Structure 1
Amino acid sequence: MSTKEVAPPAGSGRMPASERRLLILESAREVFGKRGYYGATTDQIAAAAGVSQPYVVRMFGSKESLFLEVLDDALQTLLEAFRTALAAAEARGASPDERRYAVGAAFIDLATTRGLHTVLLQAFVSGEEPAIGAAARAGFLEIYRFLVHEAGANDDEINRFLGSGMLFGVLLGIRMPDVFGADPDATALMQATFGEKCMLVVDAARS
């Protein structure tokens, strides 16, 4: 179950531990996505989730363990979205190019899942940490294997897809949507990068 499936507690009843765990993961994804592994603290994550810092530590053990779980959840959410988009495209008889376009569109749509793109970027730049580096490499290779073995992408398509994906993460990481509309070059860059989904990305980043 991915963090995007978290539901708020009903009424004034106590939130089940399983839902609280997912809420913490969701909050941690956003905090790690903004501040990185080194800049984020369990205090900040606890505050974002509305729980105590000792509760976060008791549930996840350490900041590293929490980051690794957030990373795994983000990767699984990503791959689930890819497979859903690919299956839908195949079901409607789309061409191979259209199927790969659908996968790329699904990647951009995940901008509405707060922190997902940026937490992946933070993981990729934290590879000096042995456990994080190993998990990030494994996750990146899982994406590569999906593109090759499931989406049927060739080398050029893979290069474009992964390169675009990193660009998406960088633009969100440096908060380029903040100056969309105010800086003409930033606006043009965002439009060139995200195409018809540009406003979806801008609105999601500003929300």
Structure 2
Amino acid sequence: MNPERLIRQIEFIREVDKLKTIRRQTLLTDGSRLENDAEHSWHLALMALVLGEYAGSSEIDLLHVIRMVLIHDLVEIDAGDTYCYDKAGYADKLQRETAVAERIFSLLPADQAAEIRSLWDEFEASKTPEARFANALDRLQPLMHNVATRGHMWKQHGIVQSQVVDRNRKIADGAPDLWTFARKLIEQAVNDGHLAP
């Protein structure tokens, strides 16, 4: 055992516990409170496990997807959650999050820091089949929460159908069948009066 390595790993684990305190602009499906980033990441990992058969590529490595979704929001510990429809917030989002990635991942021993940073970079670039599927899940999950809560957060922020379609069309890149499902959810939300046309 390398005591210095273990100390760094434990320091990282303690630091990322802060993810539980970062509130998202997504209600739990029962509408009782806002979801936190740790819950979101766990939910995506479970979605990857259950919905893997809908990935756009038959050669997808689901463990790789799960690892990506578990770390993709760690940067929000410092950067905070940027609401997906916040254009101003997205202007410097990557810059803010990249700076945090440097800080948080460098807490780990160099080999693990490089490995986890590469997962985060891969998710952000969304070029591999695994990253495209991970990003598809990252969009589908809050969409399902909005539908389950009768569009509560959409209404609160004045979001309309075209914004939801534009934001979520990336689902098709990683999971075409899930995009078909998502389109039906969006249409139903409009028909039910939970999303403005």
Task: Report which of the two has the higher share of strand.
Answer: 2
TM-score, with structure 2 as normaliser: 0.35
Task: Report which of the two has the higher share of helix.
Answer: 1
TM-score, with structure 1 as normaliser: 0.34
